[in-house]
Amino acid sequence: MPGKPSPSRAGPEAGLGRVRLTADGVWRGAVEIAPIALFVIPFGIAFGAAAAAKALPPAIAVLMSAAVDAGASQFAALDLWRAPLPIGMVAVTVLAVNARHVLLGATLAPWLLKLPLGRRLLALVVLSDVNFAQSLAAHERGEGDAGVLLGGGLAMWVAWVVGTAVGAYAGTLLGDLSRFGFDAVMTTYFAAILCGQWKGRRDILPWLTAAAVALAWSRLGPHGWHIVAGALAGGLVGALRHGK
């Protein structure tokens, strides 16, 4: 009908007033991220095989992946796995590696705070770097369905648990998976997402600051905190620059 406004997906503001979490969004998020999730399986296999090498029962390794669902911190914890288990050191290390999730959640806050608390927590329980990047890009396109975050996270979770199970029960039979180049997939994926977030020359200084601080901290600071340090430094420079 003439004069009736049509829905717009021109930007994130288009979706903020109608944020929801639906089964359709979950399905779309899972389908969209599925090609990337497949490449998580080799990392899961590597973790399962490493856990087996530490004499961790396969069922316990799979349970860890299902409950924790955080590959980097699981590998870090595995490095400290010995008898007696240094629980305090493991907890601090896992906190350091996973502290970046505070920043990931804060970045998505303008979108997810429109959801009721229960659905917000449901969407965030499977938050990872990959489905964060996917959801941030969707939000930038004006996506109003937070189900894409949950669906993408569930797909990543399934791939991680399946990979862990394969590695824990049969990983030693598969040999060194790095020869297939799977370790380059995630770097390439995040580089592509980053390029999609480019908004012009005003982004150069914050990006360079974040990269420089993260690189320096990874060499000089406590293990695992370089991502948080780089993100905070880049965000502060960006806020100051854009504020002007």
39: DSSP letter: T
Q: Tell me the per-residue pLDDT of 27-60, one tens digit each, with 9 for 90 and over.
A: 999 999 999 899 889 888 888 888 888 888 999 9
How far are the Cα atoms of 196, 204, 234 from residue 200, in angstroms, in the given order? 11, 8, 16
Q: How many CB atoms lie within 10 A of CB 131?
A: 29
Pair 18, 134: CB distance under 8 Å = no
Helical pair 23-38 and 129-140, crossing angle rounded to 10 deg: 130
Q: How far apart are CA 208 and CA 190, in angstroms?
A: 16
Delimit the domains of the chain by residue range.
Answer: 18-197, 199-244
The 3-state DSSP class for residue 57 equals: coil
- pLDDT at residue 176, rounded to an integer: 65
CA 229 and chain centroid, separation: 17
Low-confidence ranges of the chain (pLDDT < 50): 1-16
Amino acid 60: pLDDT: 92
Identify any residues that bridge with 145 across adjacent strands, giving them in sequence order. 20
Alpha helices in the chain (DSSP H): 13-16, 23-38, 40-53, 58-68, 71-79, 87-98, 100-112, 117-124, 129-140, 147-170, 183-196, 204-220, 226-243
Question: pTM score, two decimals?
Answer: 0.71
